[in-house]
Amino acid sequence: MTTNLYLARHGETQWNKVQRFQGQLDSELTETGKQQSKALAMHLADQEINLIVSSSLGRAVSSAKLCQQQLNAPLCISDKLIERDLGHWQGQYVDDIKSDKSYHEILHQFTALPPEDGESAVNCASRIYQALETLAKNNINKNLLVIFHGEALRCFLAKLGHSATGNAYQLFKNGCLFPLSYQHDNQRFQLLG
């Protein structure tokens, strides 16, 4: 028994465009972001998506609704898939934060160090892992499109052992897609392709 999860980053937002950290704050999709979301749905048109699951943050929900129009699948919204809480860095520009002595450890590595008043990469990864595992167990042998966030995706992949140096802006384009399977017999995630 397998559940296929197509993990996607939401389309480009106004703040993505100017390299401003959103974290659990929000900004609107740009026209490019809307097109990226539609392209994501078109890319998955042959996969028989049974359910679209979105983070509850507006940018992810907007992307999910655009995908839903083309994929004609029900939409479920989950607070557990929201972006990593970047604490005091939320709303700040990337260039203004880079000089912080902890910047690389917090946003390029997989550690337990959180930004001030924020969430560590390790804690974010555990939260996302549990949310995706619950989705998989509740949707055996189904295909799910999961729309969430770049930094949460970076943390989750690092937990699976796929760590890379670089922040989420550098690693994951808006609208990118990571096919993943959950094998129910051994209760493990596996990246596909």
* pTM score of the predicted model: 0.96
- Residues annotated within the binding site for substrate are 9-16, 59
CATH code of residue 181: 3.40.50.1240
- What is the structure's pLDDT at 182? 98
Catalytic residue (one of 28, 43, 83, 184): 83
Domain with 187 in it? 2-191
- Residues annotated within the binding site are 9-16, 59
Give, rounded to a whole angstrom, the gap between the first and last alpha carbons of the chain.
19
Residues 10-46 have pLDDT tens digits of: 999 999 999 999 999 999 999 999 999 999 999 999 9
Residues 146-169 have pLDDT tens digits of: 999 999 999 999 999 987 777 787
Alpha helix segments (H runs only) across the chain: 14-17, 31-43, 58-71, 94-97, 103-108, 121-138, 150-159, 168-171
10 is an active site residue? yes
What is d(CA 188, CA 63) in angstroms, rounded to the nearest whole number? 28
Closest CA to 51 of 11, 83, 5, 82: 5
- What is the structure's pLDDT at 193? 73
Closest CA to 88 of 155, 18, 153, 23: 23
pLDDT bucket at 121, cuts 50 / 70 / 90: very high
- What is the structure's pLDDT at 166? 78
What's the mean pLDDT in 131-142? 98
Whether the Cβ atoms of residue 90 and residue 21 lie closer than 8 Å to each other: yes
Whether the Cβ atoms of residue 75 and residue 65 lie closer than 8 Å to each other: yes
Residues 41-91 have pLDDT tens digits of: 999 999 999 999 999 999 999 999 999 999 999 999 999 999 999 999 999
Domain count for the chain, please give it.
1
pLDDT bucket at 143, cuts 50 / 70 / 90: very high
Cβ neighbour number for residue 20 with a 10 Å cutoff: 19
